[in-house]
Amino acid sequence: MARLLCVLTSLVGETRESAKFRTRGQIREKVTKGDEVLLRGLDGTLVGYASVTAVLPIGLIIALALDGLAGADVPLSAEVWLPEGDHDPGPPTPAHTMNQPGTSLASVVATCVVCGAKQPARPFAEPLQCPRCLAYLVVGYEQTQELGPNQLMPRPTLLIPLPALPGQIEWPQMCACCGGPAEKTAEVSTTGSIHQAMTGGALDFMFREIPAVRTLSPSWYETYRSVGTSGSGGPAPGWAFPLCGVDNPEHQDPVTVWTQDGALGFRSYRYHREFCRGNRLSDGR
């Protein structure tokens, strides 16, 4: 079975024969010069094969040189896989559901790939959260897929509503950014509003949508509403999440509390899913 080595994040440089990419840091000692690797877009599209010409720690960044590739042909955030032998079929293609027609030409009804919940959606908009199991979905015109596990959002916009959290949080023991081994911890930061325009009404709407079954008293949400967000340094005192030893630009601020939105936000979808599982937030899925 093919093994995921890393996710490419940006192009460092290219020659006619090879391109050099930054990776998200996961690669470490797992790939060496001469390895034949398989590149795949995060949506599952096959990009092609390449061989590794060098693994370069450039300062704190790990870069990978791949030959036989024009840099322009490789989408940023492509995955690099190492197949085991010639007959390895490569990584599995992502599961999908078929959309149903919506109430207008510009909308569809999307079915959650994870739990089957249906909701109206606009194709090719931002990833859409399932109100039942909290999974994030990528909605196309005809199909819906779950967001790729290796997806890293530019900001911590993958959410979990604070009222849904248990009193004692379990932080999955992996890097909250790249999924690598946990080597240190960092404190959760607090930020204001995910959308400046988001109103109190929108916040209430968001909470009605989530079947929060916790009966903590007072809940995080109630605490927010009564205390507000300005005093006492925010709602996340002492919350700390794991990080690996890689210190590159992709590892900045992967977890935050959006105080005005009452939500915990993650950049890494893998970490978001593991967090949901570890804290039993998604019906055990």
Residues 239-258 binding Zn ion (CB under 5 A) are: 244, 246
> In this structure, what token pair is assigned to residue 64?
């990978």
Q: How far apart are the first and last CA of the chain?
A: 24
Give the CA radius of gyration of the chain. Answer: 20
Paired sense of beta strands 61-67 and 18-23, if any: antiparallel
**Which residue from 5, 39, 74, 112 is in contact with Zn ion, where contact means CB under 5 A?**
112
Report 17-56 residues binding Zn ion (CB under 5 A).
Answer: 25
Please, what is the Cα angle at 118 between 124 and 154, to 5 degrees? 40
Spell out the residues 6+ positions from residue 282 whose beta carbon is closer than 8 angstroms to its own. Answer: 114, 115, 133, 134, 135, 273, 276
Binding window for Zn ion (CB under 5 A); candidates: 109-117, 138-146, 153-161, 191-199 = 109-117
Minimum Å distance from CB 170 to Zn ion?
Answer: 19
269 near 208, Cβ under 8 Å?
no
Write the DSSP symbol of residue 152: B
Task: Pick the piece of the chain touching Zn ion (CB under 5 A) from 47-55, 167-175, 190-198, 224-232.
Answer: 167-175
Q: What are phi and psi of 92, to 5 degrees?
A: -65, 145
Choosing from 52, 175, 236, 255, the residue that interacts with Zn ion (CB under 5 A) is 175
Q: Residue from 76, 109, 117, 212 that binds Zn ion (CB under 5 A)?
A: 117
Q: CB of 95: closest distance to Zn ion in angstroms?
A: 12
Kindly state the number of chain residues that form the binding site for Zn ion, as judged by CB under 5 A: 15
**What does the per-residue mask of binding to Zn ion show for 56-95, with x meaning CB under 5 A?**
----------------------------------------
**DSSP-based three-state secondary structure for 4:** strand
Q: Which of 6, 31, 78, 133 binds Zn ion (CB under 5 A)?
A: 133
Residue 130 to residue 229: CA distance in whole angstroms: 27
Binds Zn ion by CB under 5 A, chosen from 39, 177, 210, 281 = 177
Binding-site ranges for Zn ion (CB under 5 A): 25, 112, 114-115, 117, 130, 132-133, 135, 175, 177-178, 180, 244, 246
